[in-house]
Amino acid sequence: MTDASPLASTGPAPTGPLAGQRVLVCVCGGIAAYKAAELVRELRKGGAQVRVAMTEAATRFVGPTTFQALSGEPVRTSLWDEAAEAAMGHIELARWPTAVVIAPATANTLAKLAHGLADDLVSTLCLATEAPLLVAPAMNHRMWLHPATQANVDTLRARGVAFVGPNDGPLAEGESGPGRMAEPAQIVAALQAPPSEPHA
């Protein structure tokens, strides 16, 4: 059966360990956003179809054109895209993926997800999708270790959201601790892991 969806891709079937997967990468506003570009490259190399959605803050770190070039697909950055939303495009995009990866996931985004907020494109997509979520946090180590953030993480884990990272090491502001976004290879490996397998 031919998929008549405007999000359907054409061309030869991809091959690789992620062949058949449709991955929506949600990029949030943080210095680690540059790693998301490499993540998109690695996902496509693994055979996945990739779409990208960005928060407005993320566009201040990496431009949508970069992700469009790497994914080969249009990039969504707003709920207020009149052309896309004429047909409720955010709902269609939420239905498209077999997996959603949020990388980097900021403390703000974790709080939104834990409390069911939907005030921008990324949080709306995450609330509207039935695909499993894989979250790669990135933030200052004090923000990561704050009880409010840890409570939000616990809430999301209890709902079945998977986490990969954050890694321990030097941070952008010159400090060191848990808060570095997992490397793209770690995120790709987490996508290939059985759903019940925990991610550090």
SS3 133: strand
Q: Which domains, from first to last, does the chain contain? A: 22-192 (3.40.50.1950)
Q: How far apart are CA 118 and CA 137, in angstroms?
A: 19
Residue 129 corresponds to which amino acid? T
Give me the pLDDT at residue 169, please: 77
Give me the pLDDT at residue 83, please: 56
User: Tens-digit pLDDT profile for the chain (200 aa)?
Assistant: 334 444 444 455 567 888 899 999 999 999 999 999 999 999 999 999 999 999 999 999 999 999 999 999 999 998 876 555 444 567 889 999 999 999 999 999 999 999 999 999 999 999 999 999 999 999 999 999 999 999 999 999 999 999 999 998 766 667 777 889 999 999 999 998 766 544 44
Residue 114 corresponds to which amino acid? A
> Which DSSP symbol is given to 58?
G
Contact 44, 17 (CB under 8 A): no
Give me the pLDDT at residue 82, please: 56
End-to-end CA distance of the chain: 40
Give me the pLDDT at residue 78, please: 86
pTM for the full predicted model: 0.85
Nearest residue to 123 (alpha-carbon basis) of 86, 156, 164: 156
Residue 70 corresponds to which amino acid? L
